[in-house]
Structure 1
Amino acid sequence: MGRAEERRARQRGGRRAASKGRRSAPTVGTGSTAAPDKPDQPKKSLIRRMFTWKKILGTIFGTCLLAIAGFIGLYLYVDVPPPNLAAQQQSNVYKFSDGTLLARSGKTNREIVGLSKVPRKVQLTFVAAENKTFYKDAGVDFKGTARALLNTLAGKGKQGGSTITQQYVKNYYLNQDQTVTRKLKELVIALKVDREKSKDDILAGYINTSYYGRNAYGIQAAAQAYYRVDAQDLTVEQGAYLAALLQAPSQYDWAVATPTSKRLVKARWNYVLNNMVEQGWLPKTKRDAMKFPTPKAPKPDAGLGGQKGYLVGLANQQLEQQLMAQDSSLSQTDAEKAVIAKGWTITLNIDRKKQAALEKAVKSQLTGHLDKKKRRVDGYVQPGAVSVDPKTGGIVALYGGQDYYAHYSSNATRRDFQPASTFKPVILAAALRNNATTQDGKQITADTIYDGNSRRQAVDHGVKVGFAPPNEDNQSYGSITVQKAMNLSVNSVFAQMGVDVGMDKVMDTAKQLGMDTKGMQAVPAQTLGSMGASPLEMAGIYATFANHGKKVTPSILKSAERTGRSVQLPDAVGDSVISRTAADTVTSVLTGVVDDGTAHSSVEANSLRDGQQVAGKTGTSDCNRSAWFTGYTPDLVTSVGLFGEADKAGGTNCDGRPIKKWDHVSMKGAMGKGRVDGGGPPARIWAAYTFGVTKKAEFDLDTAQGAAVEPTQTQSASPSQSPTQTPSQTPTSESPTTEPPTTEPPTSAPPTTEPPSPPQSPGQSPTQTPSQTPTSQEPTGDGTPPSDPLASGGQ
C-alpha cells in the first residue's frame, strides 16, 4: 500500500496489516518507491474531537460577535429615560427675612443646588472618594460592572465598583433594584449620559441625588444636617466626611456610630484626602494640618406646627399666583405642582422678632385666658392677625390660629367673616376721593355734620332707600360730625354717607384699595361691613392709608429661587389709588378713634405707648360673631380679628337656629366676660404687640382735617339730614315737621355716652334749622328693617 493509500486508510480509521517497521513493496509497473511502514495510531476520544483549538477559538470569536451585536442592539434599544419621581422630589426651604431657617416642607429632605454653590475642592472630595478617573473615563467601569453582574447572578447581593456616572444614573433615572436587567440598563444609560452631559452636570446630579443619612438627600440637606451650614460654606474637611458617608450613611453617622464605625469612617475620611493629594488636588502640607471635623448632633426637622404652617401656606399661595401671572398658560393645579416639594428656597418678609412678639401678644391678651373646659364659648374664639410694613408692603408677622395642625384654615387669610365697622374708613376715603357732597350739596369733610340717630332711614334726595341701621346698643347721637361719628362708630351716619357718595363709588374705592369685591352688590347694607374680608385684606387697605394713598398689596415673599433661578417678584407698593391728602385725612380722622373713641381704653391702657401717635378703627359684627381692630403707627400696620366658629355641633345660635360644626357663632361670654368687641381683646392684642416693636414717631400728614391736626375753623355747613331741634339739644320725642309721630320714637332717649355737641362756626345760630326735611326720626316700627339682618350694630 502506498503512502497515499495509507493516509487515506488512517483517515478512515483503517489499520495496515503489515508488521511494525516494514515498508511497502513497490508497486509493480509504477516505478515509484514504496513508503516505509508506520506504527498504528490510537483512536481519539469524543471530547478531543469536539473541542479542538479551532472550534474553541471559533466559539469564542462567535460569542464575542454575538455579545457585541447584542450590546449594539441594547444600546440602540435603550433610551435615556426621564428622571424618576423620587429624584425630582425635594423639600422646599423657608427662611425668615434674616436668612435663618423657618421650616422645611416635603417628604424628601432635598434641596438641589447648582455646582457653583459647592466649593471646587469639596466637589473633588467626592471624585477622590468614589471615582478617581471620573474626568477621564467614559462613564462606566466594565470590569466592576462585570463583577457586579456575576455576583448578582450568584446571589451575593449588592456589589460596588460603579463609577460616579453609573451611580448618578441609578439614583436619577433608575432605582436601587439589584437585578441583571437594571445593571445592564445602568451600563448603557451611563454611556449615553456621559456623551450627552458634561462631567460637571453629572457630578452635580450625583451629589444632589445621593443619600447621606439623617433623612438628608443631596449635599445641601446634608450640609445642614451634619454641620448646619449651606453647601457653599462647607470646608474641605467637612466635604471629605460627607463624601465618606456615601459608602455607609447610617453606619458612618458620627452621632450613632459604634467605636468600630467611627474608626472606619475616619479611615475613609483619610482615604479621601490622601487620594486628593495623590491626584494633585490638595497640597500635602494642608492635608497634614487637617483635623477630623466632628459633625454636630442631629437636629429635629423643622415641622409646620404652630404658626409655621400658616406662613408656609401663604408663601406657597403667593408664589403660585406669581408663577401664573408670569405664564398665563399655567392653571392653578399646574402652579401648585410647580411649587409643592420642588426644591424652592423661599425667603419670607417675616421678621423673627416681630413674629415672636405677635404670638406672645395673642397669648398674653387672649389665648392664655381661654379655657373651653370651663366655658364652651372659649372654644369658639379663633384669632387671626397680619402685620405689614406700609413702606415696603412686606408682611412682617402673621398669626393664623393657635396651631396649624389643630386648625388648618388660616384665620389671617379667611374671608368668611364680616369686617364690620373697620370698613367705615373706606366710605370716608370714597367720599374724599370723589369730592362727594351731602344731600344738600355740602362737600363731605371731617367736620361735616350728619344725623346720628339710630335706625334713621337713609335717603337719596328725599327718597327712602330702605335701609335704617341701628347704632351700637341702639344709641342715638343727634347731630354729629363725621370725626365724632368715626370715633364712636355711628352706623347711621356712614349709611347716609354711603348713599351720598354712591355705593358704586364706595365699592370701587374698596376695590382700588385692595378689597376683593367680586360678586359684592353695591347696596347701602355694605356700609356696615357686611361683606366678607380677611385681616390680610384689611391690613393692605389700611397700609395704603398709611403710605399716603399708594397702593399696598401685602406680600410675604422676599425672594424665591430654585436651582439658582430666581422668580421676579412684583413691587408690593404701587401707584397712588387715592390722593395723598385724602389718605392723610383718613389717617388724621382715625387718630380720634384711638384718642377719644372706641379703642381708647384698650390702647391707652398699655404703658408702652408713651405718647406714640396711632390711627385705627374698631369693628364688631352683628351677634358678636367677629371683632376687629385694625390700626397703625407711621411704620407698622396690623389688623387683628377674632372670629366665632363652632368647634363642634350642639346648642342654639344667636339667631335661634341649632349650631352645626364650623357655624359662625357669638363669642359673647368668652374668657368669662361679656361682649367681645373690637375695642376689647383685638385692640389689646394690637397694643401689646405694636408698642413692643415700633419706635415712637409721628405721622407726616398733608391735611388740615381730622383729629390729628389743629383745627383752624369749624365747619359751618348745616347737618346733612339732621333733625329740626337745635344741635346742642338732647334729642327728644318731638315729631318731625313732615313725619307723624310714632308710639316709640328711637330718639326719645338721650345718648348714654356723650351728648352731641357739633362744632359751629362763628355767628351760627344755635337754633339754625337743617336745610332739608328731617328723616332721622323715622319710627322703628315702620316695618323697614335693615336690608341685611346680619348687618346691624357694631363698633
Structure 2
Amino acid sequence: MGRADERRARQGGGRRATPRRSPGTVGSAPAGTRAAARGKSGKSGIRRFFTWKSVLGSLFGLVLLGMGAFVVMYMLIDIPAGNATAQQQSNVYKYSDGSMLARTGKLNRENVDLASIPKDVQRTFVAAENKSFYTDSGVDLKGTTRGLLNTLSGKGAQGGSTITQQYVKNYYLNQDQTVSRKLKELVISLKLDRQKSKDYILAGYINTSYYGRGAYGIQAAAQAYYRKDAKDLTVEEGAYLAALLQAPNQYDWAIASDTGKKLVQERWNYVLNNMVEQHWLDAGKRQAMKFPVPKTPKAAPGMEGQTGYLVSAANAALERQLVAQGTASNLGDAEAMVTAGGWTITVNIDKKKQTQLEQAVKDTLTSKLDPHKRPVDGDVQAGAASVDPKTGKVVALYGGENYVKHYINNATRRDYQPASTFKPLILAAALEEEAKTQDGRAINPNTIYDGTSGRPVKGSEIGFAPPNEDDQNYGDITVQTAMNKSVNSVFAQMGVDVGMDNVLKVANSLGMDTKGLPAVPAQTLGTMGASPLEMAGIYATLDNHGRKVTPAVVKSAEHKDRTVTFPNPVGDEVISREAADTVTSVLTGVVDDGTARVSVRDNPARNGQQVAGKTGTSDNNKSAWFTGYTPDLVTSVGLFGEGANPPHKQVTLTGATGLLPGKGRVNGGGYPAQIWAAYTFGAMGEVSKFDLETTQGAAVQPTTQPPTITQSPTTEPPTTPATQSPTSEPPTHTPSSSTPTTEPPTEQTPTTEAPTTPETSPTSTPDNPTDPLKPNKPNKPNNKE
C-alpha cells in the first residue's frame, strides 16, 4: 500500500478506503439509497440543533431578556404630570370653500371630591369595570398582553384594562393604540398603585372619563344626563353612567338605536348584579330598581340652527374613521379623541346649497306649522341629505329646525321606516339576480303582475297579503305602472319571486344596513329603519350606474398628533350598469306619471330637467319620504312624526298644517316632494339628461300603446291572483300625459277638499310588521305606499 493509500486509510478511520466507482460500475450503491442516507443525516443534524434543551433555553433567555427590558423601563419611566386639561384645544370646522362653520373648545368638566359622591354610586363604577379594583396591583397582565398582541396584529384593543390603567390612559397619556403607549400605561399603573390610595385613583378615574354629550367627569355627566349634581345621583343613575363608559356614543339613550338601548340596559343590569354579588347592594332593593331613562340632552352654546347638526355629523364621521384605521379601539375612545380638540375639520358641505336647502324647508313646510293652533304640528320633524353622485360628497344636510331645541339629527337618524322608497331596491334585486315570476317569466319593467289589493303572495312559507293605498285594486298591470302608483301587492309578490334573502343582499350592497333583518315578505314595504343620508347614498349608487357611493360628510381632518386618511366615497360597481340604469329609467315614470307628478313634474322651475325618484308613506302615516335625483344631484327628504313631549314616541303626521284630520295624510308626494323640488330646481345648475344603458322602462319611447289597465273596478275584485302568462311580450309602458283619476290626492297647502277615499283603518294591523310572521297566515301591514 502506497503512502497516499495509507493517508486515506488513516482519514477513513484506519480502514482502507473503498475504491471509487463510476455510476455505471457494477456494485455501486443505488441513487435512492444514497439520497435516503443524505436525508437521514440531514434530519439528525436538525434534531441535534433543535433539542428540547435548546428550545427551553431560548425561551428562558427571551423571558429573562423581557424581564430585564421591563426593569429598565420601570426605572426610566416616571409618573408624568396630568395632561387632560392641558391638551384641551378648540376644534375648527370649515365649509368646503374654507369659510368658517364653527369653533368649539371649552372642556366641560368639573372635578368633585370622592367624599361628596355617595358610596354606592362610587361602587357602581367598580362593579362595572373592575371588581377586583380594591385588591389588585393596578394592572391586568393577561388583558394587557392580549391588548399588546391585538395591537401588533392590527386588531386593536379588546378590553382587559383595570380602572387604574384606564385612569392612566385618560389623564396621563392618550387614547392612541400603540405598543409604546400600552407599555407606558402598564409601568405608570404599577407605580401609581404603589404610590397612591385606591380612593385617589377612583376619584381620578370618574372625574376624567368621557361620558358622551361632551361631558368629562361624573359632575358634568350628572348634569348632562340627569340635570342634577353628582352628590344627588341615585344608585340606578350611577349604574347607568358607569355602564355608559363602555360605549358613550352607542349607549346614549337619546340617540341610541333599539340595539343600543337593549345593550345599555343589559349593561346596567350587569352592573347592579355585580354589586349584589360583591355584597354592596341588597338583593331585595336590587329587584325593585327600575331603569332610569336620562333626560333629553341640551346642545352647547354656539350650536344653534343647522350648525350643531353639521358639527355632530362631521364628528361622527371622523370618529368612525379613527376606529376603522385603528387609531382608536372603539367609538367611545374615538369620541374622546375628537372632543379633546386640536382638530381642523373641513366638511364637504357647499355653503350655498346648504342655505338653499334650509330655505326650501322653511318656505315649503316649517312656515306653515303652528303647534299652538294644531298640536300635531309640534310633532313634525324634517330631515334631508343631498349628495353629489359623481363624488359622493354630502353637499347639504338638514337635521331639524334647531339643534339647540331638537338634539337628534333627523338627517342621520335610522328609527323611521323608509316605506315605498324601498321598492326600487326590490326591482334592482330582480334585475341583478335575473329573477323570474312564479310561472317562469323574466322580471323587467314590462312584466305583468296582479295588482289586486290584499292578494296573498305565492311561493312563500310566510303568509303575506298587504293592501294597496286606500285598498285600491289595479288588476293586471306592468311593473312600470306598479312603480308609478306604488302598488304594494305587486312588490310583495316580486320580493318573494326574487327571494327576500337576495333582496336584502342587494339592498346591503347598494348601501342599506340590512344586518340582522329577517328575510320576510313584510320587508318589501320598507319596514326596516333608514335615514335620509342612507337613502341618498343608495339612490346615488343607482344614479352613478351601479358604482357604490358612500356619502362623505368630511372632506379632511387635520391634527398635529395624528393623521387621518378618508377612503374614496365612490367605490366599485356593486350592481350592473344595466340594472341600475333600468331602475333609474323606471323611476322617471314615478315623476312623470306617478305619485310625484304634481309636486315635481308640474313644478314651473323644472325647466325640462329629467328627474327620477320615489315617494314613500309609512304605516299609520308616521313618516313620509321623497328620494329623487337628477344626473348630478341626489336628495332624500323625510318627514317624521315624533311626539313633542317625552318619551317622544313615533306618532302620526295626519292633519299636520291643517290638512283634514283622519284623511289629510302627509304623503311622500306632498311636502317631501315639494321640499325636494324647491331645493333641487334651484341648486341643480344646468338642465341635464340621464345617460342610460337600457332598453327598458319609462325613459324608452314606446312602439305601441300599453294595455288597458283596470284601476277602479266597480265589481268585487277577484279572490285569487291571476297566474296566466301573457301570450306575448307586453309593450313598453310610457308616461301618460293625463292625470290618472285613481291616484291618491297629494297634500298641498290646507284646503277644504278631502281625499276621495278614506284612509284604511290603522287598527287593522300591528305598528311594526317587521316581526317574524307565522307561516300560512296572511299579515296585512298598513303601509300606504
SS in 1 for 2:640: strand
Contact 1:412 1:534 in 2 (8 A): yes
Task: Tell me the CA shift for residue 340 of structure 1.
Answer: 1.2
Task: Identify the residue that residue 515 of structure 1 maps to in structure 2.
Answer: 512
Supply the AA of the counterpart residue of 2:658.
G
1:97/1:790 Cα in 2 relative to 1: closer, same or farther (>3 Å)?
farther
1:409 corresponds to 2:408: yes
Equivalenced residue count is 474
Task: Identify the residue that residue 541 of structure 1 maps to in structure 2.
Answer: 538
Task: Tell me the CA shift for residue 82 of structure 1.
Answer: 3.7
SS in 2 for 1:398: strand
Task: Tell me the CA shift for residue 559 of structure 1.
Answer: 0.4
Determine the C-alpha separation between the residues in 2 that align with 1:785 and 1:100. Answer: 51
Task: Identify the residue that residue 374 of structure 1 maps to in structure 2.
Answer: 373
1:614 corresponds to 2:611: yes
Determine the C-alpha separation between the residues in 2 that align with 1:790 and 1:406. Answer: 37
Determine the C-alpha separation between the residues in 2 that align with 1:404 and 1:647. Answer: 15
Task: Tell me the CA shift for residue 730 of structure 1.
Answer: 6.7
Determine the C-alpha separation between the residues in 2 that align with 1:425 and 1:77. Answer: 64
SS in 1 for 2:503: helix
1:503-524 CA distance string (max 9 Å, x none): 0000111111111112211100
1:596 corresponds to 2:582: no
1:447 corresponds to 2:439: no
Task: Tell me the CA shift for residue 794 of structure 1.
Answer: 1.9
1:479 corresponds to 2:476: yes
1:358 corresponds to 2:352: no
Task: Identify the residue that residue 650 of structure 2 maps to in structure 1.
Answer: 664
Mapping of residues 610-759 of structure 1, within 5 Å? 610-648=607-645, 661-673=647-659, 674-695=664-685, 696-712=687-703, 731=713, 733=715
1:441/1:79 Cα in 2 relative to 1: closer, same or farther (>3 Å)?
closer
Task: Identify the residue that residue 288 of structure 1 maps to in structure 2.
Answer: none
Task: Tell me the CA shift for residue 547 of structure 1.
Answer: 0.3
Task: Tell me the CA shift for residue 338 of structure 1.
Answer: 1.3
1:328/1:395 Cα in 2 relative to 1: closer, same or farther (>3 Å)?
same
1:667-696 CA distance string (max 9 Å, x none): 111111121010000000000000001121
Determine the C-alpha separation between the residues in 2 that align with 1:514 and 1:382. Answer: 24
Contact 1:459 1:465 in 2 (8 A): no
Determine the C-alpha separation between the residues in 2 that align with 1:663 and 1:646. Answer: 5
1:500 corresponds to 2:486: no
1:502/1:402 Cα in 2 relative to 1: closer, same or farther (>3 Å)?
same
Normalising to structure 2: TM-score of the pair?
0.57
Task: Identify the residue that residue 423 of structure 1 maps to in structure 2.
Answer: 422
Normalising to structure 1: TM-score of the pair?
0.56
1:367/1:759 Cα in 2 relative to 1: closer, same or farther (>3 Å)?
farther
Which shows bigger deviation, 330-339 or 388-397?
A: 330-339
Determine the C-alpha separation between the residues in 1 that align with 2:440 and 2:578. Answer: 21
Task: Tell me the CA shift for residue 479 of structure 1.
Answer: 0.6
Mapping of residues 463-474 of structure 1, within 5 Å? 465-474=462-471
Supply the AA of the counterpart residue of 1:666.
T
Determine the C-alpha separation between the residues in 1 that align with 2:580 and 2:703. Answer: 20
Contact 1:447 1:715 in 2 (8 A): no
1:473/1:730 Cα in 2 relative to 1: closer, same or farther (>3 Å)?
closer
Determine the C-alpha separation between the residues in 2 that align with 1:376 and 1:793. Answer: 24
Task: Tell me the CA shift for residue 391 of structure 1.
Answer: 0.5
Determine the C-alpha separation between the residues in 2 that align with 1:630 and 1:664. Answer: 21
1:86/1:707 Cα in 2 relative to 1: closer, same or farther (>3 Å)?
same
Mapping of residues 755-774 of structure 1, within 5 Å? 760=730
Supply the AA of the counterpart residue of 2:683.
V
1:531-559 CA distance string (max 9 Å, x none): 11111110110000000000111010100
Task: Identify the residue that residue 791 of structure 1 maps to in structure 2.
Answer: 781
Task: Tell me the CA shift for residue 793 of structure 1.
Answer: 3.1
Task: Tell me the CA shift for residue 640 of structure 1.
Answer: 0.2
Contact 1:382 1:644 in 2 (8 A): yes
Contact 2:420 2:616 in 1 (8 A): yes
Task: Identify the residue that residue 295 of structure 1 maps to in structure 2.
Answer: none
Task: Identify the residue that residue 586 of structure 1 maps to in structure 2.
Answer: 583
CA RMSD of aligned residues (A): 3.1
Task: Identify the residue that residue 345 of structure 2 maps to in structure 1.
Answer: 346
Determine the C-alpha separation between the residues in 1 that align with 2:706 and 2:486. Answer: 20
Contact 1:447 1:714 in 2 (8 A): no
SS in 1 for 2:85: helix
Determine the C-alpha separation between the residues in 2 that align with 1:372 and 1:98. Answer: 38
Contact 2:449 2:476 in 1 (8 A): yes
1:555 corresponds to 2:546: no
Task: Identify the residue that residue 386 of structure 1 maps to in structure 2.
Answer: 385
Determine the C-alpha separation between the residues in 1 that align with 2:329 and 2:76. Answer: 35
Determine the C-alpha separation between the residues in 1 that align with 2:606 and 2:591. Answer: 12
Supply the AA of the counterpart residue of 1:562.
H
Task: Tell me the CA shift for residue 87 of structure 1.
Answer: 2.0
Supply the AA of the counterpart residue of 1:600.
R
1:669/1:735 Cα in 2 relative to 1: closer, same or farther (>3 Å)?
closer
Determine the C-alpha separation between the residues in 1 that align with 2:465 and 2:711. Answer: 23
Determine the C-alpha separation between the residues in 2 that align with 1:680 and 1:81. Answer: 62
1:370/1:531 Cα in 2 relative to 1: closer, same or farther (>3 Å)?
same
Supply the AA of the counterpart residue of 2:629.
Y
Determine the C-alpha separation between the residues in 2 that align with 1:579 and 1:618. Answer: 24
Determine the C-alpha separation between the residues in 1 that align with 2:654 and 2:672. Answer: 14
Contact 1:714 1:760 in 2 (8 A): no
Determine the C-alpha separation between the residues in 1 that align with 2:328 and 2:100. Answer: 33
Task: Tell me the CA shift for residue 105 of structure 1.
Answer: 1.6
Contact 1:715 1:759 in 2 (8 A): no
Contact 2:702 2:731 in 1 (8 A): no
Contact 1:622 1:790 in 2 (8 A): no
Supply the AA of the counterpart residue of 1:662.
H
Determine the C-alpha separation between the residues in 1 that align with 2:100 and 2:535. Answer: 29
Determine the C-alpha separation between the residues in 1 that align with 2:403 and 2:710. Answer: 54
Determine the C-alpha separation between the residues in 1 that align with 2:383 and 2:470. Answer: 26
Structure label with greater radius of gyration: 1
1:86/1:793 Cα in 2 relative to 1: closer, same or farther (>3 Å)?
closer
Task: Identify the residue that residue 567 of structure 1 maps to in structure 2.
Answer: 564
1:703/1:715 Cα in 2 relative to 1: closer, same or farther (>3 Å)?
farther
Mapping of residues 2-41 of structure 1, within 5 Å? none
Task: Identify the residue that residue 307 of structure 2 maps to in structure 1.
Answer: 308
SS in 1 for 2:86: helix
Supply the AA of the counterpart residue of 1:663.
K
SS in 2 for 1:459: coil
Determine the C-alpha separation between the residues in 1 that align with 2:729 and 2:433. Answer: 25
Contact 1:467 1:785 in 2 (8 A): no
Determine the C-alpha separation between the residues in 2 that align with 1:791 and 1:328. Answer: 45
Determine the C-alpha separation between the residues in 2 that align with 1:447 and 1:78. Answer: 75
Task: Identify the residue that residue 434 of structure 1 maps to in structure 2.
Answer: 433
Determine the C-alpha separation between the residues in 1 that align with 2:473 and 2:338. Answer: 54
Determine the C-alpha separation between the residues in 2 that align with 1:728 and 1:421. Answer: 22
1:186-232 CA distance string (max 9 Å, x none): xxxxxxxxxxxxxxxxxxxxxxxxxxxxxxxxxxxxxxxxxxxxxxx
Determine the C-alpha separation between the residues in 1 that align with 2:530 and 2:717. Answer: 40
Determine the C-alpha separation between the residues in 2 that align with 1:593 and 1:761. Answer: 18
1:389/1:735 Cα in 2 relative to 1: closer, same or farther (>3 Å)?
closer
Task: Tell me the CA shift for residue 329 of structure 1.
Answer: 6.1
Determine the C-alpha separation between the residues in 2 that align with 1:406 and 1:728. Answer: 49
Determine the C-alpha separation between the residues in 1 that align with 2:321 and 2:76. Answer: 42
Contact 1:102 1:302 in 2 (8 A): no
